[in-house]
């Protein structure tokens, strides 16, 4: 069996069984769930490696479940729905889903997208983890932006002595800004740097990620650049870099 576990959340048992059957053929472990409340309990107890998430669910809908999961982590999420309007797709992507499939869909296509998301996630995680003893680990262990203290090697952020609990992409985005103070990035540039050059979705995902950062870090020294994108505004000189022992 694969090392990956995939949660399939859909209140239609036939669709759920079909999706699980195709994923099982590819040696993925699956957990089938009929509502978002059960899925949220799973997230709290034994989070899977990827979610296949229907939007129209009884009780809490898929949008809300996606928002809750994404607030805490960057686990891949593929939304499936009978809603095929552009607005529905954009909303799903803005809330943090990585992909969106409209029902009825080909189970083989879903499996292909699952593989793609897991491969991309593995590459992003690997790229974000410097090797022990590398120059990056030894020489650039701490970035200091005013009261904001960023530890790249540990992937931790402190503001005024309090640690901010950031997801993988939230941390990666903040690190990009801190390493290039006052540089204006386009949304497309940030998508490539944080999501990867094979990202599929709206560039408004950048806006949503920054909104989440603002909720966790206040004040956040990142500002919008009208008609362009975003930058970290810093008037205190160069960003201070020290070794971890400093």
Residues 3-36: tens digit of each pLDDT? 899 999 999 999 999 999 999 999 999 999 999 9
Is residue 70 within 8 Å of 47, Cβ to Cβ? no
Backbone torsions φ then ψ of 87, nearest 5 degrees? -60, -45
Give the neighbor-by-neighbor strand order of the sheet with 148-151: 162-164, 156-159, 148-151, 142-145, 240-242
What are the structure tokens assigned to 69, written together? Answer: 């999961």
pLDDT in tens, 146-158: 888 888 888 889 9
Report the interhelical angle of 168-179 vs 107-127 (nearest 10°): 50
Q: What is the CATH number of domain 135-242?
A: 1.10.10.10
Instruction: Break the chain into its structural domains and give their ranges.
Output: 5-127, 135-242
- CATH classification for the domain delimited by 5-127, as one of 3.40.50.2300, 3.40.50.10490, 2.40.100.10, 3.30.1660.40: 3.40.50.2300
Q: What pTM value is reported for the model?
A: 0.66
Q: What is the maximum alpha-carbon separation in the chain?
A: 60
Q: What is the spatial distance between Cα 208 and Cα 134, in angstroms, rounded to a whole number?
A: 33
């Amino acid at each position: 069996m694969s090392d990956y576990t995939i949660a399939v959340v859909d209140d239609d048992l036939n669709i759920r069984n079909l999706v699980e059957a195709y994923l099982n053929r590819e040696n993925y472990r699956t957990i089938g769930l009929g509502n978002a409340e059960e899925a949220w309990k799973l997230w709290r107890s034994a989070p899977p490696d990827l979610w296949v998430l229907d939007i129209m669910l009884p009780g809490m809908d898929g949008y809300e479940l996606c928002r809750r999961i994404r607030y805490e982590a960057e686990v891949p999420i593929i939304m499936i729905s009978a809603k095929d309007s552009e607005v529905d797709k954009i909303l799903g992507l803005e809330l943090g889903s990585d992909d969106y499939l409209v029902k009825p869909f080909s189970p083989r296509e879903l499996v292909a997208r699952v593989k793609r998301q897991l491969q991309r996630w593995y590459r992003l995680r690997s790229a974000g983890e410097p090797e022990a003893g590398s120059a990056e680990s030894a020489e650039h262990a701490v970035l200091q932006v005013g009261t904001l203290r960023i530890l790249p090697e540990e992937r931790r952020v402190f503001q005024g002595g309090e640690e901010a609990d950031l997801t993988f992409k939230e941390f990666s985005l903040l690190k990009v800004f801190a390493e290039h103070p006052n540089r204006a990035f386009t949304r497309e540039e940030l998508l490539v740097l944080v999501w990867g050059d094979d990202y599929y979705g709206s560039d408004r995902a950048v806006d949503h990620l920054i909104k989440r950062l603002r909720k966790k870090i206040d004040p956040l020294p990142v500002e919008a650049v009208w008609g362009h994108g975003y930058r970290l505004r810093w008037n205190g000189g160069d960003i201070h870099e020290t070794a971890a022992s400093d």
